[in-house]
Structure 1
Amino acid sequence: MHVFARHVACGLALLQSLAAGLAVPSPEFFDKELVTRRVVTPATVQAELGSKLSSGSLIYGPESPLWADSTERWAGASLPDIQVVVLPAAEDDVSVIVKYCNRNSINFFARGHGHGMTKTIATFKGIEIDLKLLTAVSILPDKKSAWIGGGQSVAGVIGALWNAGYVTPTGSNACVGFVGPALGGGHGRYEGLYGLASDNFINLKVVLADGTKLLVNGSADCHGDLFWGLKGAGHNFAIVTSAQSKIYPKQVDTWHFHNYVWTQDKLETVFAALNTFHGNGTTPVKMGVNFGQFVIEPAISAAEAILQWAFAYAGPAAEAEALLAPFNAIGAIVEQVGDVPYTQIPEAQGMGVGSPGCASALYAGTSANIQAYNITTERTIYKLFNQKIAQYPALATVSRVFHEGYATKGMADIDPSSSAFPLRDELHLVFFTTAVPPGSGLTAAADAWSTQVKDLWNGGQPTRRPTTYVNYATGGESLQSMYGYEPWRLARLRALKSKYDPNNRFRFYNPIV
């Protein structure tokens, strides 16, 4: 959109929002106290709301065959209490649904693709707004940006843009949503070149807590203050129905991947090589990400975890292999190498749709951010892994200790004060997950193991305060660890909360209030 035209559009949106009472929420916002109805049924919602929604929208409950797909979450044991699902067929429907919920004192919760580890969503009871039909990907005529629907997945975004000759930063797992992770920052394979997914936002169409529709961007007359907060703490402020993001011409036809499996005796050598490879944020920018994990592979050993690592490079094999020479020299027991279109890289790295990483089962989890791998700590965590699976065999094949190493230059080059995302000096994301079999009685043991791993990671960097990528938070973290230790950050976020969501309607996903 032309700059002048965009400002005119924002000006109109501003007038509309003032007419609707942005500074003082509209009267209907206060029609009833915000106490959730004791019982909300699909039949009631259909009778009261159905005729107000566009054709193709759906309202249903647990008896519907669509229910499982709409309510399933990756963290299968920390579930919201969803009474009714409303599936909007158009962006404007979201505002109608939110206003309906407010008039009837019903909590609402927007769902993109159901990922995330936080237990805070278990406090929710009410109507879920499932955005899965909002999937349009529309490249603008200038070929510099695209509008992306709030319910579109990473796989959908990558595929639509790649087939047209473009890319944009997204999350790295193909089955997660595009917008949801971006609201928490959005780490991904193009981070080294272009920054986080949220760094590439141009305009956002949002619905506020009172149902007001806004066009938001970085300009002062288009709610630049809210735009700042949405880029890193967005789950606290609005439902994003679509996002306009920068796009870039694809520079290569294929990505190179190289996957390794090492035995435990190589652990110290592998982590020393990783620390050298990543340096102090000097990872080669086209080496998008490497994923590594301690995991049991029964075909290799049922008692001793392997080290499984997967690298992906935005370029030809010769360039990639020159950079990977230190890892080639370690001596893997299994290697897998190939060159594929970018659309196939998530699958090659074990992050494709239908991969184990997309399956709903997670019970216990924990995460941390680290600057460099403490090799002694990693050995201790590895030993603990083997000890725990020997003690609790039911957890052996469903547990993993995961390490993510992105190229971070594009992210780090952006002014840290320019968005709510607070962690631009962190180099690695690490997390632990396990799935507790129903009826096993291992919940407490899994939680204890999870806490031990997190304490070890944080204890391995004693000069740094604990930090957590908000998208990987599990619910017990401090606000400062997720949203930044600088006092001004939380003060600014709370001021935005007071302005845009005074009744704290968006309080279910790692809330700041």
Structure 2
Amino acid sequence: MENLELHSSELKQRLLEGTTIVRREGKVIRYDESSAPNPLLTIFPRSENDVAEIVKYCREKGLQCFAQSGGHNWRVRNHKKIDVVICMRTLNNISIDETAQTVTLGGGTIIGELVEAVTAKKLEVATGVCNTVGVLGTLLHGGTGRYTGKYGLGIDNLLSINIVDASGKLHQDINRVTDPELWWAICGAGSSFGIVTQATIKAYPQSNDGLSWNCTMIFTDPSAPELERILEAISKTPMDENMSLQCSFACLPPTGLPSLIVMPWYYGSESEAEKVWGRLLDPSFKPSVKNAVILPGNKVNEGNDAICTMGGRKPGVGMGIERLDLAAFLEVWNLWTEFTKIEGAEGSAILIERFSKAKSLSIPDSATVFPHSHRGIAYEVVCFPIYKDETLDIKADAFSQRIRDIWIQKCGNPEKPRCYGACAGFDEPLEIIFGGKERVQKLMKIKKKWDSENYWGALFEIV
């Protein structure tokens, strides 16, 4: 039994006065609790040096630590071995240089905080689509969002970082010039090399005064012919830099009937949006609900708040696919509707996202560990089993795996499956996540230099 009083007392002597340390009863709830740590202690650092001291202490005492900000990643491999969680949310400072058009943010900043801060300065940044997700959690593994078409991935807009390594040393102002080898690895596998305590990213002046068009179309219990027409409209719509699309399967109140929610988005005026999304907005479609709104920059992600709530078990798995095959789509739809009939699993969902990838693909394939094969994914799809009863874990895993196999076999290339790293399941080979054997070998060489014991192995087993 660990001496918690001793650990707490010794740590407080090394950290800034007033640093909060709590036991298991005060642990931070994660988005997915199926692989959530149950730490002896959770510590809320007040500075970057606090983070470094916590890591040093853990290494000295043989404790395993783990950092989280938003807490949304679901693939915490060694969750049962984690003794100390470093909750980075207390490091959420944001500094904006309007002249240089850069933003420097603490490692605990969440997307909603960043969006609010830059919108107030009439700026925008490449970031994810859920307000409660940690900025760096999504950015370090690629980073897709509303502005992917205009500005590329989050990693393409990263300028510098501060990082605490596996020995507890704080390295400041790491960038493409100071350490090109580490930078290549950080841009796509950053959490496997340390705790990023601060980052500086690019910012851009708002277009169209930050106003964007967002439409929600809900098709309740759609027929197969109706689904076929919707898929055809989506597939045949060319995507420009101002467009993105989200589709989700959900059982919505008050009826609880299975529904397809289609959300086209356009960064521009309503009249322009109606032109580019003309196929999907065809009046012959008869959704149960159709609502189009103009959103200011700080509200761009609010439609996703409902799917980002914390707690419960959500052992999801994602995949990259090339096409929306009707037969596969119907098979997935039927499997999903059957799973949602299980008591307690009614909230389970499927998410499909589409972004323009031209800007992302303009970055050389050699620039980052995040490969072109992933940069060019046509559709990112994620299966979310959502429930609370842990006895459903086996059924949920089988359900997710079946969905994954259908996507790969019928909507992608079974010989070269694609997987966005932040949405990967536990069993995805590194070659799939990082785009091939040679890239993985290079990554492992850098890993050996920076973390030879694989101390930071919670998300990817790079050894």
Normalising by structure 1, what TM-score? 0.85
Q: Which residue of 2 aligns with 1:448?
A: 398
8 Å CA contact 1:124–1:508 kept in 2: the answer is no
8 Å CA contact 1:218–1:228 kept in 2: the answer is no
Give the direction of change, closer, same or farther, for the CA distance of 1:125–1:323 in structure 2 (3 Å limit): same
Which aligned pairs between 1:331-350 and structure 2 lie closer than 5 A?
331-347=286-302, 349=303
- Paired letter, 1:270: I
8 Å CA contact 2:76–2:458 kept in 1: the answer is no
Q: Using the TM superposition, give the Cα deviation of residue 362 of structure 1 relative to its aligned residue in structure 2, in angstroms.
A: 3.0
Q: Which residue of 2 aligns with 1:512?
A: 462
Q: Using the TM superposition, give the Cα deviation of residue 217 of structure 1 relative to its aligned residue in structure 2, in angstroms.
A: 3.8
Corresponding position: 1:105 with 2:72:
no
8 Å CA contact 1:123–1:508 kept in 2: the answer is no
- Paired letter, 1:325: G
Corresponding position: 1:39 with 2:14:
no
Q: Using the TM superposition, give the Cα deviation of residue 93 of structure 1 relative to its aligned residue in structure 2, in angstroms.
A: 1.2
Corresponding position: 1:86 with 2:43:
yes
Q: 1: CA distance between counterparts of 2:205 and 2:149?
A: 16
Offset from partner CA, 1:110-148 (integer Å, 9 cap, x none): 111110121514243211111111111111263321111
Give the direction of change, closer, same or farther, for the CA distance of 1:310–1:40 in structure 2 (3 Å limit): farther
Q: Which residue of 1 aligns with 2:32?
A: 75
**In structure 2, which of residues 343, 347, 367 is the aligned counterpart of residue 418 of structure 1?**
367
Give the secondary-structure state (helix, strand or coil) at the position aligned to 2:261.
Answer: strand
8 Å CA contact 1:470–1:510 kept in 2: the answer is no
- Paired letter, 1:241: T
Q: Using the TM superposition, give the Cα deviation of residue 40 of structure 1 relative to its aligned residue in structure 2, in angstroms.
A: 4.9
Q: Using the TM superposition, give the Cα deviation of residue 312 of structure 1 relative to its aligned residue in structure 2, in angstroms.
A: 2.0
8 Å CA contact 1:194–1:410 kept in 2: the answer is yes
**In structure 1, which of residues 157, 163, 168 is the aligned counterpart of residue 125 of structure 2?**
168
RMSD: 1.8
Which aligned pairs between 1:358-397 and structure 2 lie closer than 5 A?
358-390=309-341, 392-395=342-345, 397=346
8 Å CA contact 2:78–2:458 kept in 1: the answer is yes
Corresponding position: 1:401 with 2:350:
yes
Which aligned pairs between 1:458-477 and structure 2 lie closer than 5 A?
458-460=408-410, 461-462=412-413, 464-477=415-428
Tell which structure's C-alpha radius of gyration is larger.
1
Offset from partner CA, 1:217-244 (integer Å, 9 cap, x none): 4445x22211111110111101100101
Q: 1: CA distance between counterparts of 2:385 and 2:155?
A: 29
Offset from partner CA, 1:97-118 (integer Å, 9 cap, x none): 1111111111111111110121
**In structure 1, which of residues 50, 54, 70 is the aligned counterpart of residue 16 of structure 2?**
54
Q: Which residue of 1 aligns with 2:109?
A: 152
- Paired letter, 1:272: E
Q: 1: CA distance between counterparts of 2:158 and 2:228?
A: 40
Q: 2: CA distance between counterparts of 1:315 and 1:212?
A: 46
Q: Which moved more, 1:456-465 or 1:91-100?
A: 456-465
Give the secondary-structure state (helix, strand or coil) at the position aligned to 1:82.
Answer: coil
Q: 1: CA distance between counterparts of 2:324 and 2:171?
A: 43
Q: Which residue of 2 aligns with 1:284?
A: 240
8 Å CA contact 1:112–1:151 kept in 2: the answer is yes
Of all paired residues, the percent bearing the same amino acid is: 25
Q: Which residue of 2 aligns with 1:212?
A: 169
8 Å CA contact 1:189–1:407 kept in 2: the answer is no
Q: Which residue of 1 aligns with 2:280?
A: 327
8 Å CA contact 1:204–1:216 kept in 2: the answer is yes
- Paired letter, 1:147: T
**In structure 1, which of residues 349, 357, 365 is the aligned counterpart of residue 308 of structure 2?**
357
Corresponding position: 1:315 with 2:278:
no
Corresponding position: 1:492 with 2:442:
yes
Give the direction of change, closer, same or farther, for the CA distance of 1:296–1:103 in structure 2 (3 Å limit): same
Q: Which moved more, 1:402-411 or 1:203-212?
A: 402-411
Give the secondary-structure state (helix, strand or coil) at the position aligned to 2:366.
Answer: helix
- Paired letter, 2:450: Y
Q: 2: CA distance between counterparts of 1:252 and 1:135?
A: 28
Give the direction of change, closer, same or farther, for the CA distance of 1:232–1:91 in structure 2 (3 Å limit): same
Structure 1 residue ranges without an equivalent (≥5): 1-37
Normalising by structure 2, what TM-score? 0.94
Give the secondary-structure state (helix, strand or coil) at the position aligned to 1:449.
Answer: helix
Q: Using the TM superposition, give the Cα deviation of residue 467 of structure 1 relative to its aligned residue in structure 2, in angstroms.
A: 2.0
Q: Which residue of 2 aligns with 1:30?
A: none
Give the direction of change, closer, same or farther, for the CA distance of 1:393–1:400 in structure 2 (3 Å limit): same
Offset from partner CA, 1:455-504 (integer Å, 9 cap, x none): 1101112455222211112212111111212x221111101111111121
8 Å CA contact 1:416–1:424 kept in 2: the answer is no
Give the secondary-structure state (helix, strand or coil) at the position aligned to 1:143.
Answer: coil
Give the secondary-structure state (helix, strand or coil) at the position aligned to 1:243.
Answer: strand
- Paired letter, 1:233: A
Give the secondary-structure state (helix, strand or coil) at the position aligned to 1:162.
Answer: helix
- Paired letter, 1:424: R
**In structure 2, which of residues 152, 160, 163 is the aligned counterpart of residue 195 of structure 1?**
152
Offset from partner CA, 1:48-96 (integer Å, 9 cap, x none): 1212212332212134xxx24xx21111111123111111101121111
Q: Using the TM superposition, give the Cα deviation of residue 216 of structure 1 relative to its aligned residue in structure 2, in angstroms.
A: 4.3
8 Å CA contact 2:217–2:291 kept in 1: the answer is yes
Q: Which moved more, 1:442-451 or 1:147-156?
A: 442-451
Q: 2: CA distance between counterparts of 1:478 and 1:124?
A: 22
Give the direction of change, closer, same or farther, for the CA distance of 1:55–1:311 in structure 2 (3 Å limit): farther
8 Å CA contact 2:70–2:110 kept in 1: the answer is yes
- Paired letter, 1:257: N
Which aligned pairs between 1:244-263 and structure 2 lie closer than 5 A?
244-253=200-209, 254-263=211-220
Q: Using the TM superposition, give the Cα deviation of residue 299 of structure 1 relative to its aligned residue in structure 2, in angstroms.
A: 3.0
8 Å CA contact 2:116–2:298 kept in 1: the answer is yes
Give the secondary-structure state (helix, strand or coil) at the position aligned to 1:138.
Answer: strand
Q: Which moved more, 1:197-206 or 1:400-409?
A: 400-409
Q: 1: CA distance between counterparts of 2:339 and 2:19?
A: 48
Give the secondary-structure state (helix, strand or coil) at the position aligned to 1:401.
Answer: strand
